[in-house]
A = this chain, B = another copy of it.
């Protein structure tokens, strides 16, 4: 799903309330309608839109009542600054993702991705399965003890992940502020008279390794002829150089 579609869906208070409710527990239409104080018909319309977008799914229980629940993991990020309006929606990265490959970020977690598989609920379940029907009260206690230990471990892990999430969010707010600051200074440095920020974006794209007009055009999301004009102007003013042979652009100096 693209970010625009997601924002259209989330730009409605009742749909947000439905999602919040479903994140607590799966519900059927009457429950949602009563909780929201909105007609069942309106709830059905919202649910249909959420289902069409793949955010919500339904299943039917033994009494043939249709339950709705959230079917998808996703994140949406929107950044607004005088120099940027960016939206990004993304599915979770794989649990096996090697975060240690990151160049600028490192995460220090007690519960690493390797350890996650070898611990937790499944272990507890297995131990539970081993207890035979004739099990004494002691066996039951042990099983319960294992289940409690597994659950409290998971609760600790969840707490750690949530703290990490808050720290990442703080780090991102910090980076966001820094980027807006550098963009303002770069815009001043390049183009004190004009308010057009494209020059700054093009320069940053070249600094980031975009070497051809096509690559720069893709990075800054501007048409190629506009980018080509901008590259020439930056070269005339001494900010950029073009390799005579490969015709690739690079920062001057």
Q: Is A49 an interface residue (CB 8 A)?
A: no
Residues of chain A from 190 to 208 with CB closer than 8 A to chain B in the complex = 190, 194-198, 200, 203-204, 206-208
Q: Is A25 an interface residue (CB 8 A)?
A: yes
What is the number of residues of chain A that contact chain B, defined by CB distance less than 8 Å?
119
Q: How far is the CA of A92 from the CA of B129 in the complex (A)?
A: 51
| B75 & A80 in contact (Cβ 8 Å cutoff) | yes
Residues of chain A from 156 to 183 with CB closer than 8 A to chain B in the complex = 156-165, 167-183
| B99 & A108 in contact (Cβ 8 Å cutoff) | no
Q: How far is the CA of A9 from the CA of B154 in the complex (A)?
A: 38
Q: Is A30 an interface residue (CB 8 A)?
A: no
Residues of B within 8 A of A13 (CB): 4, 8
CB distance from A133 to the nearest CB of B (A): 19
A42-59 near B? 1/0 per residue, CB < 8 Å: 000000000000010000
A70-81 near B? 1/0 per residue, CB < 8 Å: 111111111111
Nearest 7 CB-CB pairings of A with B: A11-B11, A92-B177, A155-B207, A159-B208, A93-B173, A23-B85, A93-B174
Q: How many chain copies does the complex carry?
A: 2
CB distance from A179 to the nearest CB of B (A): 5
Beyond contacts A93-B170, A106-B108: 9 other A-B pairs, Cβ-Cβ < 8 A, are A11-B11, A16-B87, A23-B81, A75-B172, A105-B105, A158-B182, A161-B179, A161-B182, A162-B179
Residues of B within 8 A of A172 (CB): 75, 165, 168-169, 172
Q: How far is the CA of A11 from the CA of B95 in the complex (A)?
A: 31
Q: How far is the CA of A7 from the CA of B77 in the complex (A)?
A: 11
Residues of chain A from 105 to 157 with CB closer than 8 A to chain B in the complex = 105-109, 113, 116, 120-122, 124, 144-145, 147-152, 154-157
CB distance from A144 to the nearest CB of B (A): 6
Chain A contact residues: over half helix, strand or loop, or mixed? helix
| A207 in contact with B76 given A25-B196, A92-B176, A92-B177 (CB within 8 Å) | no
20 contacts between A and B (CB under 8 A): A4-B13, A8-B13, A19-B80, A20-B85, A23-B83, A24-B198, A25-B194, A73-B82, A73-B177, A74-B81, A76-B78, A77-B77, A77-B78, A95-B177, A99-B171, A102-B171, A103-B108, A104-B164, A159-B209, A168-B175
